[in-house]
Structure 1
Amino acid sequence: MTAPFGPAPTADSQIPEVYARQPVLHRLVPRMVGLDRDRHRRRAHHEFADDLPVVLLSGRHGTGKSAMLDDLQQAYAPETGTWPGPRVPFARINCTELQEQARVGPEMSNNSYAVEMLVELIAQLSRPVAGFGGLRFPRTTAGLLAVVSARRPGHDGELRVADRHAATLMGVPPDTRPRPTWDTLFRPALPAPPDGGSPDPAAFPEAAVRTFLGGQRRRHSPGLASRQLVGWYETYRSEADNRLRGLPPGASGQPRPVPAAERAPAVARMCQEFHQGRGFRRGVERMLTAAFLEDVRYGRLRRANRTPRPLVLLDNVHTDAGRDFLELLLEQRARADGARDRMVVIATELHGDDTPDARGDGPAGEDAPYPQAARRSLHDMGTDSGWTRHGTAPSAGVLLLPLPPLECEHLERMLRRDDRASFDPYIANAVHDLTGGHPMGARRLCEAVVDRSRTEEWVAAEELLDLAHSSRAGESVVWGLLDTLVGSEYHDELCLFSLAWDREAAEQLAERWVPRRMDGLPAADGAAAQLERERWSRGPGSRPFITDRFLRALLVHQMRSGRGGQGVDWSGAHALLADHHRQRAESRSGRSARDEWSRFLWHRLAAGQAPEVVDRLHAEFLRHDGDAVDWLHVLRTVAHAPRPPGNIWFEQCQEVARGRRDLLQLRADPGTGLEKQAVNRLLHALWYAADELAEADRHLVDRIGQDLSFLSAQHLTGRAVLAQAAIRWPRAVKDGEDWPLDHRWQGEGPRTGGAA
């Protein structure tokens, strides 16, 4: 066949979420598929000629995973344009939607997530492709018809599953009305009961398979006949027995040919195995997956099956349905022994923010479901991925591509879209610090800045979280982001829980202010389950309670501005939590007590009680048995407290940090010494530097180093530790990195001051 000429449809404009994603979209995928994005021209070079990995795009909510699949769909299966329709055998499945709509479970003996996925893949991949023909799935269709046709009398759910899947597998167009049922398609093949009663349900699978095999023989006699189809299943069972016995493939010889009268029962018998559930069902699912991959490899139109390669896009494979199918697919590919399918699979999974949090003590990341996956960066995909399968484990067939955050330069480009815009030059850095390069968050905030700057003379970084969209009826940009990321149903509860350090603290807040249940559970438990499910936290031991920094910053600001936690006062919530951590600290010892005191002071500072916090930090500094590393740990934790309500904080905190209020402090407390003044300046400087919207200029950074250097000379035992911090913390603040702290500093010679 000759491919039609002409340019392929492309997106009208650059999608902001796919900045820095071009090596995958414009280079890797075309090399894998074997067809250019912009022209109907086959590529001479196929990457992964003998073995194809599952390309897994991993990222957080809003990092552009679905936008990348949208881009690929527009390139290879556009709905409009010069040549609408798939340019390659194409399928796209959202595993979350499939899981929500599927009727599966122990009570459904004729359905599972694997069956749902395979039926949907067959329906989409079977669509004709202009210039290349279409794919056919005779082996898989026969096996699936056997499985879905089983149903127990009076079980309406199983009947609906059989009706829905049977019509799809028999190629009935989805818009056909009335839609044929299982009975209208297959009842004529049922043997007539001798007593004139209802047919035996045990005969349903065989009737469906017999009808399908008969249609195959009549319509496609030059192709794969029923004898070859049934022979494949018999060969598969024989090879499976060989593996169990430890024999090599083919050791038991070829299975005997199946007579025509026994072919339908031979395929239909897998229905009984599927009906038994557990390991028996999993064995049938493996057989069906192997049949599917064999159909992809050796379809009726072999050239269409190989050039261009079929493209399958799977969204949200972190769900049960997605992970279940990927497990089956990877298992079969690991066993292929050179007989590889030619299907390109691009999948996305939701992953949490696995950046270690310097203020928390939770785990550094999530358990990897694909331990032997090859991990690459996106920019490595430009010319050649360099991927080859290493190892025999199924997960070795995964090429994992974590989606990187956007760089500050990407944000500057978004902000420069309007030459008339006038805003704080630091605002791009503020957006980047706040979002951590989160694509959707960065785009929404940059849009709000540009929108506001068209009507205002100046947009300051401090105003960033209070901006609204004039084009969206004045909607708060923070509200819009939260509605997209976590929904609005439990907005107030999540805002309140964003102040909690752990589950116990959240339970204290819930006991006082949240009487209703969340998802049928007590409020704190329901919130924890939702956050873990959506990868906003890292499980029961998450500290803080919401570990994703960007989401936590948005929720905390809603609380601070009075738009979240309805009926709960900012100071009152922090007072309750401070008392909670004080009581826990008094009942503990060692580092556990230290951590609780840190959280107590964190809440007191957030409530605006800076003098109290300075008093406690100064008292700890003067202890003759005090540990400088512990003191810096407490200081670092406390300094990351959220600022209290009101924009006046930005000016006041800077004035204290720069020493402009030393005289006021001395007048209020005539006994204040130089050490206490240094502690006061240092705390406020670090507090200001830790805020996402505040810019720590060079003078402030230098002041942090000077105060730490001064305190190093005053500490009785921790001179070396504080001297190292005086060098490294200002550098980390300037570079926007976490402030380092290392017990080994105690053994290093100080660069300022004397010996410890």
Structure 2
Amino acid sequence: MSGSARSLSGVRGIAWSLVDELTRRPGGQGRELPVVVALGPRGSGKTALLDQIRDRCANQVPSALLDFQETGDARPSRVLTGLAFDLSRYVPQFGRMAFPRLWLCALVLAGNLNTADRPKALAGLNELMTKDRPLERHRAQVLDLARLAGEAGGLPGWAPDATNTLLNGLNVLSRWRMLRSVRKLSKGSPRDPRDLLVDLNKNDKGSPADRRAVDDIVFDAFLADLHQAFTGGLHRLQRTANCVILLDNAHTAEGRAFLAALLAARRRSGTRADHAAVFATSRTWNVEWNGAWRRPGTPPNGTDLPLPRTAGEADRDSRTRTDWDQWYLVGLGHLDDAATEDVVSQAGVDLPAGLPYRLTRGHPGGLRTLLDVVARQEEPPRGQALRGLLSLPADPDRPVSLADEALDALVQDLPPALREDLVTASAGRGIEFLSEPTVLASALPDGGGALYAFLVNNFLLALEPDQDGGTRPVLDPWLRTLLLHRLSRRAEDGPVGWTAVHRRCREYYEGLGLTTEASYHDLALGDVGAVVTALAGPFAEADRPLDQPTARAWLRDLDLITSAPNRPAPDADPLTQVERLIEDVPAADATLARLVASLWLSGDPLGDPGDTLRGRIEHAYSALAQHRGQGSILLYDRAERYRA
């Protein structure tokens, strides 16, 4: 499928390649297609992706876009009626697709038939379908019936207009054609097909099992109509691409019920030929995917289940894959550095190169919020002003910071008490404190389990390499940045302020004998002297050679410790802060202390946004590497990274 719409940054493999592949009809035939689900937390670009696909489909293939957060508690059959209404719009080359079976089901379900008196119910149907007269001649009666149903809560408010539009697409269908369609639905029953219509109306008001059976009939009618639209009649040769169904927020109960009903109907059809490419979005995990896909943020645990595909992997799959499973999951959430710079360039916002990516890690919603806030400033932030970027007001008319607005958007579904515990737990390197009551200073009985479930189900965990060569789950990097910013703004004299929390974290690790992890929290507290003491061992004797295994282990510890969070101080430039941090360290350890402090500040995107500490870091590595054996090579390599 061609299109001139501009591709969204970072999703071309989905919005273009995958859409083109799944709308393609090899040899003019349908084939089994997956339901594609784009996964990601709030603000990850899921809705924008569907909008991009919809724009590409406009005037090229029939398409329908539905947001399940706007449907209320609508049953699957009611949702399907709305989708069919959109799919029946006129499209050049395709013409107007008709859904006679589905339309008749919807019409009967909307009717106020007297199901307690079958003869009267049949007479009511006869009023609409007088022998040998085209159905569209009864337009006024049909619209009156739809209006009555709308007033009674049967069909949504668009029923009259929808019915009128659908009738325009059915002007060649007469009574006998409609009844023949219904006879197929009744699977060859010798009963008067009108009885099926009456029963359909009656069961729609019956038990949950009866209503599910009605939904099944409606879905079967829809797929039968869709199959007829692509394989029969004069339009078969001109309908050269599958139509497209777009379902936003399919993680809702209504969305899951709809997708389950659609897949069940596909299996019942037995045609092994789908004519609609379905693209959905979800911000939570669906247990239906267990056994076929691995949940993001969870280690492999000995399984070979695939993680949801990236946009790049989806691009490759669209060119190489020949068979598709029932579900195809793609993960959204973070743009790479190149795509992030592309978004920044398009926005025309003046920020130091690399800073937007380092700060937001390419989270689309966070990036957009950042760029919008900066664009509203009278002057682009420069120098020390950049260090207070997260504290800028998100909206000039409201006293809410950029960081607070972005965080509240991500965790708005989390109860306030758990939200505060999550802020406290963010002090840890990973998720180790989600259920540690001594660190959280919280009495919630199952807070840790609830927090973990929320994070993993909402795709707010990531995996990063650990020191043993495996992976470990950590908080989403953008989420953690926002949580730490909130933690840094808490009152210092309380039990969950920055200092109190990191002290408890340090004590926790000291109790386990994990000195490197304890030093991580020493540095978060600004205690450079304690960190120097922990790292000074290999340099205690000037003439002692540094071998490569020792240097490698030392660098791992240095990297871990200096990745500790800090609280940017907007009142001093980075060079001044480094000197303040090391002023109480003995002169003999000044080089190591300066390296630790400089790495710590520069590791925070807002700690040294102007890269003024690169020279200090390069000089310190080089000084420590002098005359120290084979291990010095590794230190010189590090110095080279920072050489201008």
Secondary structure of the structure 1 residue equivalent to 2:377: helix
Find the counterpart in structure 2 of residue 428 from structure 1.
Answer: 353
Sort the Cα spacing of 1:725 and 1:684 in 2 relative to 1 into closer, same or farther, 3 A. farther
Find the counterpart in structure 1 of residue 622 from structure 2.
Answer: 706
Find the counterpart in structure 2 of residue 40 from structure 1.
Answer: none
Alpha-carbon deviations, 1:225-251, whole Å to 9, x = none?
34x5444553xxxxxxxxxxxxxxxxx
1:575 CA displacement: 1.5
State whether residues 107 and 146 of structure 2, in contact with CA within 8 Å, keep that contact through their aligned partners in structure 1. no
Secondary structure of the structure 2 residue equivalent to 1:461: helix
d(CA) in 2 for partners of 1:28 and 1:465? 36
**Match of 2:177, as an amino acid?**
G
**Match of 1:223, as an amino acid?**
R
Sort the Cα spacing of 1:116 and 1:578 in 2 relative to 1 into closer, same or farther, 3 A. farther
Sort the Cα spacing of 1:645 and 1:22 in 2 relative to 1 into closer, same or farther, 3 A. closer
Find the counterpart in structure 1 of residue 312 from structure 2.
Answer: 377
Question: Out of 67, 70, 89, which is 2:51 matched to?
Answer: 70
Question: Out of 126, 130, 138, which is 2:101 matched to?
Answer: 138
Find the counterpart in structure 2 of residue 19 from structure 1.
Answer: 9
Find the counterpart in structure 2 of residue 552 from structure 1.
Answer: 480
Find the counterpart in structure 1 of residue 379 from structure 2.
Answer: 454
Alpha-carbon deviations, 1:64-120, whole Å to 9, x = none?
22112234445657xxxxxxxx9864432334555xx338xxxxxxx6xx5565455
1:482 CA displacement: 1.8
1:466 CA displacement: 2.8
d(CA) in 2 for partners of 1:700 and 1:445? 30
Question: Out of 303, 307, 310, which is 2:243 matched to?
Answer: 310
2:366 paired with 1:441: yes
Sort the Cα spacing of 1:304 and 1:481 in 2 relative to 1 into closer, same or farther, 3 A. farther
Question: Out of 55, 64, 82, which is 1:91 matched to?
Answer: 64
State whether residues 62 and 91 of structure 2, in contact with CA within 8 Å, keep that contact through their aligned partners in structure 1. yes
d(CA) in 1 for partners of 2:87 and 2:491? 48
d(CA) in 2 for partners of 1:148 and 1:525? 49
**Match of 1:67, as an amino acid?**
A
Secondary structure of the structure 1 residue equivalent to 2:596: helix
Find the counterpart in structure 1 of residue 130 from structure 2.
Answer: none
2:179 paired with 1:225: yes
Secondary structure of the structure 1 residue equivalent to 2:318: coil
State whether residues 531 and 537 of structure 1, in contact with CA within 8 Å, keep that contact through their aligned partners in structure 2. yes
Find the counterpart in structure 1 of residue 454 from structure 2.
Answer: 530
1:555 CA displacement: 1.6
2:635 paired with 1:726: yes
Question: Out of 427, 432, 442, which is 1:499 matched to?
Answer: 427
Once the two structures are superposed, the pairs formed by residues 613-652 of structure 1 within 5 Å of their partners are: 613-619=531-537, 631-644=554-567, 646-647=569-570, 648=572, 650-652=574-576
Q: Percent identity?
A: 21
State whether residues 61 and 485 of structure 1, in contact with CA within 8 Å, keep that contact through their aligned partners in structure 2. yes
Alpha-carbon deviations, 1:710-740, whole Å to 9, x = none?
5964xxxxx6xx55743665577799xxxxx
Find the counterpart in structure 2 of residue 477 from structure 1.
Answer: 402
Sort the Cα spacing of 1:347 and 1:526 in 2 relative to 1 into closer, same or farther, 3 A. same
Find the counterpart in structure 2 of residue 601 from structure 1.
Answer: 519
Find the counterpart in structure 2 of residue 683 from structure 1.
Answer: 596
d(CA) in 2 for partners of 1:172 and 1:399? 42
Find the counterpart in structure 1 of residue 158 from structure 2.
Answer: none
2:605 paired with 1:692: yes
Question: Out of 386, 393, 398, which is 1:468 matched to?
Answer: 393
Find the counterpart in structure 1 of residue 73 from structure 2.
Answer: 102
Sort the Cα spacing of 1:378 and 1:175 in 2 relative to 1 into closer, same or farther, 3 A. farther
1:642 CA displacement: 0.7
Sort the Cα spacing of 1:148 and 1:494 in 2 relative to 1 into closer, same or farther, 3 A. farther
For CA contacts below 8 A with separation 6 or more, give which structure has more relative contact order.
Answer: 2
State whether residues 102 and 116 of structure 1, in contact with CA within 8 Å, keep that contact through their aligned partners in structure 2. no
RMSD, aligned CA:
5.6
d(CA) in 2 for partners of 1:704 and 1:646? 23
d(CA) in 2 for partners of 1:479 and 1:565? 21
1:346 CA displacement: 2.1
d(CA) in 1 for partners of 2:502 and 2:273? 60
1:310 CA displacement: 3.1
d(CA) in 1 for partners of 2:569 and 2:438? 23
d(CA) in 1 for partners of 2:624 and 2:23? 58
Find the counterpart in structure 1 of residue 196 from structure 2.
Answer: 264
Once the two structures are superposed, the pairs formed by residues 407-418 of structure 1 within 5 Å of their partners are: 407-408=337-338, 410-411=340-341, 414=344
d(CA) in 2 for partners of 1:712 and 1:311? 65
1:640 CA displacement: 0.8
Alpha-carbon deviations, 1:122-162, whole Å to 9, x = none?
4554567698334316269759989999xxxxxxxxxxxxx
1:404 CA displacement: 5.9
Secondary structure of the structure 1 residue equivalent to 2:536: helix
State whether residues 334 and 361 of structure 2, in contact with CA within 8 Å, keep that contact through their aligned partners in structure 1. no
Find the counterpart in structure 2 of residue 345 from structure 1.
Answer: 278
d(CA) in 2 for partners of 1:438 and 1:401? 12
Sort the Cα spacing of 1:31 and 1:681 in 2 relative to 1 into closer, same or farther, 3 A. same
Return 623-632 or 483-492, whichever deviates more: 623-632
Once the two structures are superposed, the pairs formed by residues 193-232 of structure 1 within 5 Å of their partners are: 220-226=174-180, 228-232=181-185
Question: Out of 160, 163, 179, which is 2:150 matched to?
Answer: 179
d(CA) in 1 for partners of 2:300 and 2:32? 30
Alpha-carbon deviations, 1:374-432, whole Å to 9, x = none?
86528948xx93254336x434xx374757605457547636866xx8x66xx231111
1:177 CA displacement: 6.9
Sort the Cα spacing of 1:731 and 1:550 in 2 relative to 1 into closer, same or farther, 3 A. farther
d(CA) in 1 for partners of 2:106 and 2:638? 64
Sort the Cα spacing of 1:730 and 1:550 in 2 relative to 1 into closer, same or farther, 3 A. farther
Sort the Cα spacing of 1:511 and 1:349 in 2 relative to 1 into closer, same or farther, 3 A. closer
Sort the Cα spacing of 1:678 and 1:617 in 2 relative to 1 into closer, same or farther, 3 A. same
d(CA) in 1 for partners of 2:484 and 2:432? 17
2:510 paired with 1:582: yes
**Match of 1:699, as an amino acid?**
G
State whether residues 468 and 474 of structure 1, in contact with CA within 8 Å, keep that contact through their aligned partners in structure 2. yes
d(CA) in 2 for partners of 1:332 and 1:579? 58
**Match of 2:567, as an amino acid?**
P
Sort the Cα spacing of 1:530 and 1:171 in 2 relative to 1 into closer, same or farther, 3 A. farther
TM-score, normalised via structure 2 length: 0.68
d(CA) in 1 for partners of 2:401 and 2:62? 43
State whether residues 33 and 277 of structure 2, in contact with CA within 8 Å, keep that contact through their aligned partners in structure 1. yes
State whether residues 452 and 459 of structure 1, in contact with CA within 8 Å, keep that contact through their aligned partners in structure 2. no
d(CA) in 2 for partners of 1:324 and 1:621? 64
d(CA) in 1 for partners of 2:569 and 2:273? 63
Find the counterpart in structure 2 of residue 252 from structure 1.
Answer: none
**Match of 2:599, as an amino acid?**
L
Question: Out of 530, 552, 564, which is 1:612 matched to?
Answer: 530
1:641 CA displacement: 0.6
1:445 CA displacement: 1.6
State whether residues 95 and 319 of structure 1, in contact with CA within 8 Å, keep that contact through their aligned partners in structure 2. yes
State whether residues 41 and 284 of structure 2, in contact with CA within 8 Å, keep that contact through their aligned partners in structure 1. yes
d(CA) in 1 for partners of 2:202 and 2:95? 34
d(CA) in 2 for partners of 1:148 and 1:45? 41
TM-score, normalised via structure 1 length: 0.59
Return 281-290 or 484-493, whichever deviates more: 281-290
